[in-house]
Amino acid sequence: MTQVITRDIRKLRSEFHKVRNTTSFIFEPISVEDAVMQSDPFGSTPNWHIAHVTWFFQKILEKYEHDIEGNSINTDYLNSYYQRYSKILPKTDRGKFPRPKVSETLKYRSLIEEMFLKFLDNIEKNNSLTRNLAYDIELANQHEMQHQELLVYDLQHYFQRFDDPHDNYEPKITKSTNSMTDNPHIDQGMVKVTGGLYELGFSGDGFCYDNEIPEHKAYLNPYEIDKYPITNKEFINFIHAGGYQDYKFWLSDGWDLVRENEWKAPLYWQKIDGEWYKKDFRGLNKVFPNEPVTNVSYYEADAYSKWTGKRLPTEAEWEKAASWDDDLKRKTTYPWGDDLPSDLAANLLESLRWAPSPIGSYPQGKSHYGCHQMIGDIWEWTSSEYVLYPGFRSKFLEYTDKWAINQKVLRGGSFATPRTQIRNSYRNYFKPHERIPFSGFRCARDLL
């Protein structure tokens, strides 16, 4: 196997520390009682998240023949869906199985963390970092970043159920979104994007998931795409125009959900004295008009697009529009560069805003074609089915490939996505009915 230069192990160790500290930062304000509750089958308990990501690092240690000494907890139920590993606790039952206890989880986390750091020390000492091993370590770090965002989803869903507006998850540090730019006169038009062949997928030298490669050509017709994500104010116009009462705008499955679940607005919205309110990490407030709409399903995004006479972009159209280099060669790295703090160019987890920012807040993050806020704030639904790219070869026995059925692709990340997790080529995927992810959208249309 090819050896990797020693400084890479130091980078991996630094990332390991950062990832673990960030997870602890999110988890610390949660009480023991709240840590074992599961509010929806979509999610998991905070306690399970903490134990599961630790179990993932344990599996890396075991893969490279490290015995786990001193662990006394039952890890059978920390598996999520890997059929090759022991038992699987069904996702719907995780809230019914508050084990390991929270105190045991934290001890387990500390134990594996100490062992993993010694593992990294030995790799550096023996100069034994191979490319495969480096990828596995980075995968474990990236996997925990994914669960940081999932944990934030679950906290939002759990705490919004309580009637008391002050009964809320309170992160240790919050930067108010009210201080962000809120320009009601901002130009919310569309930008033109040229057609032709486009190289879709990851093209960098760093980490990516196997579903982002191989890079391949896609032919695009010329199109227009919104400069900004659709805002709450725009979506309210759809609601008031009877969008949730008119079947003509809805796909059949979506219309069934609207009627069965009595959807009348995005998730977490409620009408009080004739005005729309939302309870989120900032408490119960009137809906902020110029924030990107979030917590909408694919069906709602598609219905709104049809109502406007537009459509949702494909993932290839989205990725090209999000590129910021004239020759499109830098499409899979940060648009703002490593020297510019992410909270000056995109609203990601490190911004600590815990909500979408008003449109127009990040002019430094504008793409080459003139699109804003394509990275951060909200995941954006595309019209593309989640399928594997031509020539796909999995790096694993089971990972991203097993989910390539009945799901839609989302792009761009959200305010809960860690900075080092996201890139233009990152492919998220959810079922079209799901509303708990921080998902919104922008519209596109063909240029004839």
> 356 is written with which tokens?
């979408």
Give the CA dihedral 35, 77, 161, 428, nearest 10 degrees: 110
Between the alpha carbon of residue 274 and those of residues 266, 286, 294, the distances in Å are: 16, 11, 21
| Residue that wins the pLDDT comparison between 243 and 80 | 243
Torsion-angle region of 168 (φ positive above 0: left; ψ -120 to 50: alpha; else: beta): beta
At 5 the pLDDT is 47
Tens digit of pLDDT for each residue in 320-354? 999 877 666 566 666 555 556 666 789 999 999 99
d(Cα 22, Cα 141) in Å, to the nearest integer? 11
Question: What pTM did the predictor assign?
Answer: 0.94
> Of 369, 362, 363, 364, nearest to 325 (Cα)?
369
Top CATH class, 7-159: mainly alpha
Which of 6-20, 44-58, 62-76 tops mean pLDDT?
44-58
% of the chain exceeding 70 in pLDDT: 91
3-state DSSP helix/strand/coil % of the chain, to nearest 5: 40, 10, 50
Please say whether the beta carbons of 230 and 293 come within 8 A.
yes
Q: Is residue 135 packed enough to be buried (19+ CB in 10 Å), middle (13-18) or exposed (0-12)?
A: middle
Class of domain 177-446: alpha beta
Which of 243, 242, 200, 246 is CA-nearest to residue 220?
200
Topology agreement, domain 7-159 and domain 177-446: no
- Note the pLDDT tens digit of each residue in 266-281: 999 999 999 999 999 9
Where do the structural domains in the chain lie, given as residue ranges? 7-159, 177-446
Poorest-pLDDT segment among 28-42, 64-78, 153-167, 197-211:
64-78
- What was the pLDDT predicted at 4? 46
How far apart are the C-alpha atoms of 448 and 88, rounded to whole Å?
Answer: 52
Rounded mean pLDDT of 304-322?
97
Q: What does the pLDDT look like over 54-84, one tens digit per residue?
A: 999 999 999 997 777 777 777 878 887 777 7
What letters, b where the CB count within 10 A reaches 16 and e where it falls short, cover 150-162?
Answer: bbbbbbbbbbbee
Give percent of the chain above pLDDT 90.
72
